[in-house]
Each structure stands twice: as C-alpha cells, then as structure tokens.
Amino acid sequence: MSSDLHVDVSGGVAVLTLNRPAQQNALTPAMAAELGAALRRCDTEDAIGAVVITGTPPAFCAGADLAAKGEVNGFIDPAPFRIRKPVVAAVNGHAVGIGLELALQCDLRYFARDAVYGLNQVRRGAIADGYAHWTLPRLIGLANAADLLLTGRTFDGEEAAAIGLANNSLPGGEVLPTALAVAHDIANGSAPLPVALSKRLLWEGLGMTPETVGRLESDLNGYVGKSADGGEGMQALRDRRQPVWSGSVSTEWPAWDTGDQLADRDQARLD
C-alpha cells in the first residue's frame, strides 16, 4: 500500500487509515483502489476478525479529490458492507460527500462530536452516490434521509447520533480508541463465522419477508451448530471460562449464500 493508505494488522484487527492530512484525506482513484484491495484482504484472512477505517487527523475524509486524475464516484470495491468481517468507522473529523458515504457503508460508526458532516452533492449540481440512497434510509429512516439528501445541509456529530446515523458521538480524540476497543472486543470475543453470517443477514434481511429471515436464522443456526465452533460457546459457559474460537470464515462459509439465491429458495418453500 502507498503512503496514502496505511494498513496495520494487530491483535486480530486491521486498521485502514486514509493518510493525506494536508488534503484532509480527500480520496483519489488510487486510494479507492488501494482501500478496496485492503478490504478484500480483510475479507479472506482469518487472522483478521474486525476492521477499523479512519483518517489521519484533522479529518476523516473531505470527499473526492477533484484535482486528482480520474473520477472517484463513491464506490469502493468491495464496499465495506460486502466483506464478511465487521467494519467500524472511526470518523474522527470532517466527512462530506464520499467521505461520509464511506462511513455509511460500515457496520458501526463513531463520530467526532464537533466535526462537520454532509452529503452536499445536490448543492454542487450532482446526486449523492456511494449507495447513499440505499444506506441512509436503512440507517435513519426515509424522512431523515430525505432531509439530508435533498437539502445537502451539514450537521455535527451530536445530530448524527441523535438521528441514529452514529452509534455514538465523542470528542475527536476519543473516536479512534473507542472504535478500536469495539473492534478488538468483536475480534477476540465473538465467534467469527456467526458474526460474519449475522452481518450478511443484517444488511440483506431488510429486503426479505419476516418468514424468509426467520427461516434463514434457523438454517444458519443449524449450519453454525455443525461448524468448528458449534459447541464451544456452551461448553465454555458450562466450564465457566472464556471460549476459545477456532472457526474459519474463509473455509467454513456456506456454499449457499445468505443473499438472493437462498432467499429465493426459502420463498419457494413459503409458496
């Protein structure tokens, strides 16, 4: 990775740091490609149990670098919600446009209280992209999403937490330590395969019927019960000790996925 994106893996957590502080970490096409490559690595390496995305202070990401060659259209490939490891956004400073869209694609978000946030594309004669019209309504409801997308106004971390956009709003210096603590707790405390499957079901379940989600939960619990960690949690509880997980997301991921194919299969049962 170049100096514009720092990747550090320690204690089961990968920290991906946007590192162009002089440009407030504005994203270039090259950085977007590197971030995608880093996320693909995080998805496949079993030693990585959780991911944190942050920026070198003073900002998280001020949007796309309009002076860079090429176009940054808001789409990181893969998007953070596509990978099988939980991704925590440590939004430690200003985040607008693609910078905020990147945070919206993460599973958990911790915002700096006094930073500035916004999806201001309509005020520039454009439309917010980066899945914003898909992520925002799911996170904060249609009315709040319409407010932010149609006005293009800015807001602070306190409002982000109040409307459910942020899991918490903190002083800037506490954002990264908090996000790291959450990521380490997931990586070292939760069984990897159930976490990965639960994440996938969370993102995709809103487009399914309650019956389909219920069936998927039952099917996936049955699958997890036969996995390497199937009985470890209950045995550890009986032994009054911490569980020792040995499961592998890369090798134990089901041949059928939790997405459209499985939902279609389950809907056929209902029909």
Give me the pLDDT at residue 75, please: 73
Q: What is the mean pLDDT of residues 207-233?
A: 94
Which pLDDT tens digit goes with each residue over 110-131? 999 999 999 999 999 999 999 9
pTM: 0.93
First to last CA, the chain: 50
What is the phi/psi pair of residue 181, to 5°?
Answer: -60, -40
Q: Which CATH architecture has domain 5-187?
A: Alpha-Beta Complex (3.90)
Give me the pLDDT at residue 271, please: 47
Give me the pLDDT at residue 71, please: 67
Give me the pLDDT at residue 67, please: 80
Q: What is the mean pLDDT of residues 243-251?
A: 95
Q: Count the neighbouring beta carbons within 10 Å of the beta carbon of residue 268.
A: 8
Give me the pLDDT at residue 259, please: 53
What is the phi/psi pair of residue 173, to 5°?
Answer: -70, -15
Residue 70 confidence class, pLDDT cut points 50, 70, 90:
low
Instruction: Look at residue 270 and tell me whether its pLDDT is greater than 80.
Output: no
Given the candidates 1.10.12.10, 3.20.20.140, 3.40.50.970, 3.40.50.10260, the CATH classification of the domain at 191-270 is 1.10.12.10
Instruction: Look at residue 10 and tell me whether its pLDDT is greater than 90.
Output: yes
Q: What is the chain's mean pLDDT, rounded?
A: 92
Instruction: Look at residue 8 and tell me whether its pLDDT is greater than 80.
Output: yes
Instruction: Look at residue 158 and tell me whether its pLDDT is greater than 50.
Output: yes
Give me the pLDDT at residue 73, please: 64
Q: What is the mean pLDDT of residues 166-190?
A: 97
The first and second tokens of residue 156, run together, are 């602070």
Instruction: Look at residue 262 and tell me whether its pLDDT is greater than 80.
Output: no
Which pLDDT tens digit goes with each residue over 12-25? 999 999 999 999 99
In whole angstroms, what is the distance from residue 32 CA to residue 67 CA?
A: 15
Can you list the alpha helix ranges (DSSP code H) found in the chain? Answer: 29-44, 98-104, 132-151, 157-162, 172-189, 192-205, 210-225, 232-239, 249-252, 260-270
Question: Where exactly are the structural domains of the chain?
Answer: 5-187, 191-270
Cα 158 to the center of its chain, rounded Å: 20
DSSP 3-state of 3: coil
Nearest Cα to 199, choosing from 106, 84, 90?
84
